[in-house]
Chains A and B, each alone.
Chain A
Amino acid sequence: MSETGSQNHVPENLPEHGSAHGSAPATADPFANPGLPPHEPRRQDIDEKAAKHSERVVAGLFTLSMLGTLGFIASFVIFPVDKIVYIFPVGHVSALNFSLGLTLAVALFCIGAGAVHWARTLMSDEEVADDRHRVDADDELRENVRQQWITGAKESGFGRRRLIRNTMFGALGMVPLAGLLVLRDLGPLPEKKLDHTAWQKGKELINTNTNQPLRPEDVAVGSLTFAQPAGLNEADDDFQTQIAKAALMVVRLKPEDIKDKREREWGHEGIVAFSKICTHVGCPISLYEQQTHHVLCPCHQSTFDLSDGARVLFGPAGHPLPQLRISVNDQGNLVALGDFSEPVGPAFWERS
């Protein structure tokens, strides 16, 4: 872009050679506004045939966009929602999704491409300078507005009738309180709900796969089973609320592998039950490695040792997974001997 011409190689912002030698420095602004470069025509400005060609290209793109929209409507009508086709680099995809996406992309892209080509080749490209207008109003207008304000204040009696003024301030000040108060309805406080789960003394452990009570002989060493308290039904309204706290993983270790005395006592012949909710931020946690007895949380890699009271081995979790005390009832099914001894899941404000 050397519109200034190739015959003059002197950088435009430097003083000229002649004046710099011995004489007074040039008075001209060294950072003078160079102004706009001279306008250069495009081919379309000179050649009517080229302009016609551009016009046809733009119209062609817009027509292609119309065809894209028609194709979109046609695909919507033609393809059933469950039709799967093979399309080379992508694989087995829904014919409907693929054609809708493709035709809509054509319809939108061609409008944009047409508009850009139109603006670049046919619309005027003369550069013009348009100075900013003044930001402030002139003095007369400002004085006028000031007078009106003073008159208005005087006529309203704002300064004279103090009672009205003060009560108005009071009213305006109190109205936002109504808005603040309804924020209280964002939810009842959790109270003691986080401290208790659906587990109670005597509740049977129900296998979530089979919906049958778990029996100690079902649980093999090295196996992993998920359990929920008896009486919890997936169709219940509060099922999600309850299972979010009561979810349980049941594993069996060789009793001699259990290092923690309390863990061994709270289990049944090596079968131990721990909360499935991570104590960091409450992710469901069950990446159980049966040889190392480690449980890994997929969210932030907290690692717990199920052979040592679910002690935290690694990661951001603050305390061990709560253990559920279990035993066997008259029918030979595993039962809880009470609720978890501490709140499950992450720490919270009022956690005791």
Chain B
Amino acid sequence: MKKLSARRRHPLAALVVLLFALAATGGLYAALAPAPKAQADDSSQSLAIEQGKKLYSVGCASCHGASGQGSHNGPTLVGVGSAAVDFQVGTGRMPAQQPGPQVVKKKNIYTQAQIDQLAAYIASLGPGPSTPTKDQYSPADADVAHGGELFRTNCSQCHNFVGKGGALTHGKFAPSLKGVSAKHIYEAMQTGPQNMPSFPDTTMPSKDKAAIIAYLNAVDTAKSPNPGGFTLGSLGPVSEGLFAWVFGLGILIAVSIWVAARTTKAKKS
């Protein structure tokens, strides 16, 4: 205390007291201030819908209709939910570049805030699956082995058993799942984009979806260990056998030819 009182006339003492006072006031306000009212929430929500409608008229309305009712160029968006918008726009699939068997993913040109506004507008058209929250899709404490089982039962027929993707009919394909964010994988299962069937929460609960994401993280990232070495596309024994026969035998033949082509004679002819 003595030390403190000795310094009370220091030129900076007033500044220190001021800082303490400000921090205390600010802290108390933050702790005790009344929570924002529901009214404020609503208005920000309706503002987002308003903004989203503007974005929609510019980027989407030409195919999906002025109010999301659909046209001969694109399906109706009533009832697809915010999760579908977050997936389609977030992965860059929508707005589509050109018609074709399948709309492929490309660079996303919207910010997450704009996507949320678009999603809010589409969600306001009719009830549908909403954008999942982080604790729904987080694979943090999911059962990886169970996820593997579910993946092989429900997904591997199209996406390959470690998510490398595969071909479908007439130019359509199941894309590779490598590098796709957990949220987008969750949303794809929930909404069934394009020709992929949906796996709604009623038949595949949220916990199971997180388990599938955990399995994909374990087998399909750049860091996923592969005890055997080269994956050769993870296509299974056919590609591996072909590789062994072509390159393994090829190297043996090349070495034999190299050995036999060089004479050991002292007089090279």
Binding site for B on A (CB under 8 A): 1-3, 40-46, 84, 90-94, 97-98, 116, 120-121, 125, 207-210, 214-215, 217-220, 222-226, 251, 284-292, 294, 296, 298, 301, 303, 314
Name A41's closest neighbour in chain B (CB-CB). Answer: B266
The answer on a CB contact under 8 Å between A98 and B197 is: no
Name A40's closest neighbour in chain B (CB-CB). Answer: B265
The A-contacting residues of B in range 126-173, CB under 8 angstroms, are: 150, 153-154, 157-158, 166, 168-169, 172
The answer on a CB contact under 8 Å between B203 and A289 is: no
The answer on a CB contact under 8 Å between B166 and A218 is: no
By a CB distance below 8 angstroms, the chain A residues around B202 are 215, 217-220
The answer on a CB contact under 8 Å between B153 and A209 is: yes
By a CB distance below 8 angstroms, the chain A residues around B200 are 218, 220, 223
Question: Known contacts A43-B264, A84-B225, A284-B157; can you find 10 more A-B pairs with CB under 8 A?
Answer: A42-B266, A44-B264, A91-B226, A92-B223, A209-B150, A218-B203, A223-B203, A224-B154, A287-B158, A289-B195
Cβ of B267 under 8 Å from chain A: yes
In angstroms, Cα B166 to Cα A223, docked, is 20
By a CB distance below 8 angstroms, the chain A residues around B205 are 209-210
How big is the B interface, by class?
35 or more
The answer on a CB contact under 8 Å between B169 and A214 is: no
In angstroms, Cα B43 to Cα A202, docked, is 53
In angstroms, Cα B264 to Cα A288, docked, is 64
Cβ of B238 under 8 Å from chain A: no
The A-contacting residues of B in range 181-211, CB under 8 angstroms, are: 192, 194-200, 202-205, 208
Cβ of B36 under 8 Å from chain A: no
Interchain nearest-CB distance for B205 vs A (Å): 7
User: Which of B169, B198, B224, B229 contacts A90, CB < 8 Å?
Assistant: B229
Known contacts A287-B168, A298-B157, A94 near B225 by CB under 8 Å:
yes
In angstroms, Cα B166 to Cα A303, docked, is 16
Cβ of B99 under 8 Å from chain A: no
Name A125's closest neighbour in chain B (CB-CB). Answer: B264
In angstroms, Cα B264 to Cα A185, docked, is 62
By a CB distance below 8 angstroms, the chain A residues around B192 are 222-223, 290
In angstroms, Cα B205 to Cα A90, docked, is 37
Name B256's closest neighbour in chain A (CB-CB). Answer: A116
The answer on a CB contact under 8 Å between A288 and B197 is: yes
Known contacts A93-B228, A209-B154, A226-B153, A1 near B203 by CB under 8 Å:
no
By a CB distance below 8 angstroms, the chain A residues around B269 are 1-3
The answer on a CB contact under 8 Å between A209 and B203 is: yes
Interchain nearest-CB distance for B177 vs A (Å): 16
In angstroms, Cα B172 to Cα A229, docked, is 33
Interchain nearest-CB distance for A306 vs B (Å): 11
Cβ of B100 under 8 Å from chain A: no
The A-contacting residues of B in range 236-269, CB under 8 angstroms, are: 259, 264-267, 269
User: Which of A2, A223, A287, A291 contacts B199, CB < 8 Å?
Assistant: A223
By secondary structure, the A interface counts as mixed
Name B259's closest neighbour in chain A (CB-CB). Answer: A116
Known contacts A92-B223, A121-B264, A223-B198, A296 near B203 by CB under 8 Å:
no
In angstroms, Cα B158 to Cα A90, docked, is 27
Interchain nearest-CB distance for A348 vs B (Å): 24
User: Which of A42, A209, A285, A289 contacts B264, CB < 8 Å?
Assistant: A42
In angstroms, Cα B204 to Cα A214, docked, is 11
In angstroms, Cα B198 to Cα A290, docked, is 8
In angstroms, Cα B240 to Cα A30, docked, is 54
Known contacts A42-B264, A42-B266, A218-B203, A223 near B197 by CB under 8 Å:
yes
The answer on a CB contact under 8 Å between B226 and A42 is: no
Interchain nearest-CB distance for A179 vs B (Å): 35
In angstroms, Cα B150 to Cα A242, docked, is 20
In angstroms, Cα B199 to Cα A288, docked, is 12
Cβ of B227 under 8 Å from chain A: yes
Interchain nearest-CB distance for A189 vs B (Å): 32
Cβ of B230 under 8 Å from chain A: yes
Interchain nearest-CB distance for B198 vs A (Å): 5
By a CB distance below 8 angstroms, the chain B residues around A120 are 259, 264
User: Which of B153, B194, B229 contacts A98, CB < 8 Å?
Assistant: B229
Interchain nearest-CB distance for A85 vs B (Å): 9
By a CB distance below 8 angstroms, the chain B residues around A301 are 169
Interchain nearest-CB distance for B216 vs A (Å): 16
By a CB distance below 8 angstroms, the chain B residues around A45 are 266
In angstroms, Cα B259 to Cα A38, docked, is 22
In angstroms, Cα B229 to Cα A275, docked, is 38
Interchain nearest-CB distance for B189 vs A (Å): 10
| A–B pairs, 22, beta carbons within 8 Å | A1-B269, A2-B269, A40-B267, A41-B266, A90-B229, A90-B230, A91-B226, A92-B223, A92-B226, A209-B153, A209-B204, A210-B205, A217-B202, A218-B200, A220-B202, A222-B197, A223-B198, A224-B154, A224-B199, A289-B195, A290-B198, A314-B169
In angstroms, Cα B268 to Cα A3, docked, is 11
By a CB distance below 8 angstroms, the chain B residues around A93 are 225-229
Going nearest first, the 7 A-B pairs with the smallest beta carbon separation are A224-B197, A218-B202, A94-B227, A289-B195, A84-B225, A290-B197, A43-B266
In angstroms, Cα B268 to Cα A2, docked, is 11
